Chain A
Amino acid sequence: MRQYEITFIIDPVLPGDEANKAAKSYETLLSEEGASIVNVDNMGLKQLAYPINKKNSGVYKCIEFQSEHGAMIPKVELAMRRDERIMRFLTVKLDKYAVKYNEDKRNGLIGSAKKSKDSDKKDSKDGKPAYRVAKDDLTLIEGVGPKASKLLTTAGINTYAKLSGATPSEIKEILSKGGPAFKTMDPGTWPDQAQLAADGKWSQLNAMKEKLVGGKAIGEEE
């Protein structure tokens, strides 16, 4: 049994439910010819990267199906070529990795954005789900970089609320464990910034950040 997928673009200017009807007609055609439909993915209306048939957008659909030898594919492709509603189509035979990928995607293991995929990887690696609970982006605090935020997170300070509760000397101790590069950091204002972040007072925080460079208050010497 081979698995195929056929992706096609439907004219976006069709009246009403015509786009879905067109997709449905190909589903029935495929199953009539002996293919078993695995999945139909409505990718929705998308902007085209270049105009096709003088149109700048199209409705994307993707039908995934199983068949012994794909004997019906020429018939379906011929029907699509004759169909004015279909702007483009592409039939692809899926290898085992592609089948697995599509399954994972359906089960939500692979996000539409690749970023989530990377974060999945990280999560599975360190295997400490506790740190993921209500984790805030500490790097939004002026003076905290990605590395410093990682140090803080591993030390158990993973939210603004916890950071605001810590004293500067405590933070300094955590940072000094990270190596000599962090010794120069001055976390004096971090708890105050975190307090604002925890309360959601972003505009005040931004105003405060403007006065700070590297987490240190400037203008004090003046």
Chain B
Amino acid sequence: MASRDDIKFLSNPNLGKDKKKYCRFKKFGIKHIDYKDPDFLLQFINPQGKLLPRRITGNSLKYQKKVAVAVKRARHLGLVPYVADLLK
């Protein structure tokens, strides 16, 4: 008699379920976004150097605004490009 643990599925039964997005700043208590850290900001821009929308990153509105400001400051200082191609 096969126990419940031995049952195998042909495909992953969790495949369709989406992982709930969350705001990483709220979750990890990050209060300040450093505009001098381009590697971190790269997570919030797409390969063309445009800001990613909140629906992709999951940021809360408060921190999305701060991310936007930080990216724009970094662009001014030449740390992050205004326009790019195949950035990542």
Q: Which residues on A are within 8 Å of B, measured CB to CB?
A: 7, 9, 43, 46, 48-50, 52, 58, 60, 62, 88, 90, 92, 95, 97-98, 100-101, 105, 112-114, 121, 179-180, 183
Say which residue of A43, A49, A180 sits within 8 Å of B81 (CB atoms).
A49
CB-defined contacts of A46 to chain B, threshold 8 Å:
79
**Contact (Cβ within 8 A) A43 B36:** yes
Contacts of A183 in B (CB 8 A): 5
Q: Which single member of A48, A92, A105, A112 contacts B73 (CB below 8 Å)? A: A92
User: How many A-B Cβ pairs are below 8 Å?
Assistant: 52
- Within the complex, what minimum Cβ distance (angstroms) separates B29 from chain A? 9
Q: Across the interface, do A121 and B39 meet the contact criterion of CB distance under 8 Å? A: no
**Chain B residues bordering chain A, tally (CB within 8 A):** 23
Contact indicator A9/B32 (Cβ below 8 Å): no
In contact, B76 and A88 (Cβ under 8 angstroms): yes
List of 7 A-B pairs having minimum Cβ-Cβ separation, nearest first: A180-B5, A97-B31, A48-B78, A49-B81, A101-B32, A97-B32, A114-B40
Closest residue of A by beta carbon distance from B49: A49
Q: Are B82 and A50 in contact (CB under 8 A)?
A: yes
* A97 CB contacts on chain B under 8 angstroms: 31-32
Separation in Å of the A133 CB from the closest CB of chain B? 25
Interface positions, chain B 30-80, Cβ under 8 Å from A, are 31-32, 34-40, 73, 75-80
7 additional A-B residue pairs with CB within 8 Å, beyond A49-B79, A60-B36, A180-B5: A7-B77, A49-B78, A49-B84, A90-B77, A92-B73, A101-B32, A179-B5
Q: Which residues of A contact B73 (CB under 8 A)?
A: 90, 92
In this complex, which of B28, B35, B36, B40 has the most chain A Cβ atoms within 10 angstroms of its Cβ?
A: B36
Q: Give the CA-CA distance A58 to B80 in the complex, in Å.
A: 14
Choose among B6, B31, B82, B84 the residue that contacts A101 (Cβ–Cβ < 8 A). B31
For residue B38, which residues in chain A have a CB less than 8 angstroms away from its CB? Answer: 49
Cβ-defined partner of A100 (8 Å) among B28, B31, B75: B31
Q: B24's closest neighbor in chain A, by CB?
A: A118
Kindly provide the distance from the CB of B33 to the nearest chain A CB, expressed in whole angstroms.
Answer: 9
A52 to B79, CA, bound (A): 11
> Which residue on B lies nearest to A7, using beta carbons?
B77
Smallest CB separation, A62 vs chain B (Å): 7
CA distance A183 to B3 in the complex (A): 13
Q: How far is the CA of A180 from the CA of B84 in the complex (A)?
A: 47
Q: Is the CB of A7 within 8 A of B36?
A: yes
User: How far does the alpha carbon of A112 sit from the alpha carbon of B77 in the complex, in Å?
Assistant: 18
How far is the CB of A98 from the nearest CB of chain B, in Å?
5
> What are 13 inter-chain pairs, A to B, with CB distance below 8 A?
A7-B36, A48-B78, A49-B82, A50-B78, A50-B83, A88-B76, A88-B77, A97-B31, A97-B32, A101-B31, A101-B34, A112-B37, A114-B40
